[in-house]
């Protein structure tokens, strides 16, 4: 081996290297970067669109609510009967939903009569009275028949609203009645003072300003005061509403029945609290008879599902305990409500 030649090669500058080649896949990387950038921009735009939609929905929360129509019996489109639902405990929201259903029916000139489908144990005084007033107004302004159709439970405030209708039909297994008033609240004095060592302090002007109070056990005088100022007026109004709505009953009859008792449909029929035992077909037949029509399309209103419902459901799922929640927890409520099993 000639080491001299090796030295010559070394001095000449090592073994020649091939020229550098362009990296493979550069074009795909550029295309992928463009696609990724476009995707990010699209998502940003979509985010702002959703935010705008949420703001729009929030700002229009007090505007008219839309209800879809579900056909439950076919018939001529220009002659219709609408079913308005009252389902669950009656509160402000329930009363508002009922109002919008009634408004939808009032604005539809093809509606010839209503069925008020009631499945409610009652609820607040104002909510029950507001719904009763809506039905009474509709009958007076339109002259169209309104039939109450009871399902499941139609007690206390549920019955209060039903007597505003022309007739009341109840399914055989309906529980109704419970004509009366109830109020309840929590007395936290022992829990706060003896268990938690908390001493409530109340500063007031006027001896009765804090009656009733969750921070002390009520006296006989306080209970009588609440009965005279809250329970009796609400009870007397309930009795008067039933007496006005049920012409078949005398004032003495209503007073006898208004002890908070509940009645199955057959008992309610005997006591003239309702007019007939039947099903939805019988209620439809009754409306047709009173409206002097032979055929009609029967529809039921359904609240349109929207993004605001999703948002309210998510925000409502969080339990918040603030001053308002504390007030609602400790403040007594006077109710037209049956508190039995549902």
> Which residue's entry shows tokens 């306080």?
222
Q: Is 210 part of a structural domain of the chain?
A: yes
Q: Give phi and psi for 135, each to the nearest 5.
A: -65, -45
In a domain, 342, yes or no: no
pLDDT at 309: 53
Q: How far is CA 194 from CA 186, 188, 190, 214, 323, in A?
A: 16, 10, 5, 15, 23
Residue 88 lies in a domain: yes
Residue 319 φ/ψ, nearest 5 degrees: -85, 120
> Catalytic: which of 85, 120, 128, 156?
156
pLDDT of res. 306: 55
Specify if 9 maps to a domain. no
Q: Among residues 209, 217, 281, 295, which one is catalytic?
A: 209
Q: Output the domain CATH number for residue 292.
A: 3.90.226.10
Contacts of 325 (CB under 8 A, 6+ apart): none
Of the candidates 76, 156, 169, the residue with the CA atom closest to the CA atom of residue 120: 156
Residue 209: active-site member: yes
Q: According to the model, what pLDDT value does residue 263 have?
A: 98
Q: What is the pLDDT of residue 65?
A: 56
Is residue 17 included in any domain, yes or no? no
Looking at residue 303, what is its pLDDT?
81
Residue 26 located in a structural domain: no
Q: d(Cα 128, Cα 338) in Å, to the nearest integer?
A: 13
Domain housing 147: 67-337
Domain count, the chain: 1
Phi-psi region of 13 (alpha: psi -120 to 50; beta: other; left: phi over 0): left
Q: Residue 155 has what DSSP assignment?
A: E
Work out the number of other CB atoms within 10 angstroms of the CB of residue 300.
20
Number of residues written out for the chain: 342
- Residues (pLDDT < 50) of the chain are 1-4, 6-13, 55-63, 313-317, 319, 321
Domain annotation covers residue 74: yes
pLDDT for the residue 216: 84
pLDDT at site 59? 45
In a domain, 144, yes or no: yes
pLDDT, tens digit, 9 for 90 and up, residues 90-136:
999 999 999 999 999 999 999 999 999 999 999 999 999 999 999 99
């Amino acid at each position: 081996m000639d080491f001299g030649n090796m030295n010559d090669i070394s001095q000449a500058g090592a073994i020649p290297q091939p020229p550098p080649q362009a990296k493979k896949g550069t074009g795909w990387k550029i295309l992928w970067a463009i696609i990724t950038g476009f995707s990010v921009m699209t998502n940003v735009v979509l985010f702002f669109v959703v935010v705008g939609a949420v703001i729009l929905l929030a700002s229009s929360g007090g505007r008219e609510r839309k209800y879809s129509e579900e056909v439950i019996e076919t018939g001529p489109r220009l002659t219709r009967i609408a079913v308005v639902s009252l389902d669950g405990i009656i509160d402000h929201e329930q009363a508002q939903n009922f109002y919008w259903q009634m408004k939808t029916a009032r604005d539809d000139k093809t509606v010839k009569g209503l069925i008020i489908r009631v499945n409610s144990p009652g609820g607040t005084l104002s909510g029950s009275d507001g719904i009763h007033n809506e039905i009474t107004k509709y009958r007076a302004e339109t002259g169209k028949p309104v039939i109450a159709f009871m399902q499941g439970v139609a007690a206390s405030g549920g019955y209060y609203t039903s007597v505003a209708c022309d007739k009341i039909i109840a399914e055989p297994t309906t529980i109704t009645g419970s004509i009366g008033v109830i109020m309840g609240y929590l007395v936290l004095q022992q829990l706060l003072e003896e268990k938690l060592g908390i001493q409530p302090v109340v500063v007031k002007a006027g001896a009765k300003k804090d009656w009733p109070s969750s921070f002390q056990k009520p006296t006989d005088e306080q209970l009588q005061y609440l009965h005279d100022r809250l329970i009796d007026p609400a009870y007397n109004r309930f009795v008067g509403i039933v007496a006005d709505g049920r012409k078949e009953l005398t004032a003495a009859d209503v007073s006898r029945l208004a002890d908070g008792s509940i009645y199955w449909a057959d008992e309610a029929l005997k006591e003239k609290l309702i007019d007939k035992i039947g099903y939805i077909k019988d209620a439809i037949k009754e409306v047709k008879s009173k409206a002097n029509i032979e055929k009609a399309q029967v529809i039921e209103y359904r609240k349109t599902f929207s993004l605001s419902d999703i948002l309210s459901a998510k925000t409502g799922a969080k339990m918040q305990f603030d001053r308002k929640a504390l007030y609602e927890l400790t403040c007594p409520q006077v109710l037209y409500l049956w508190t039995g099993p549902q």
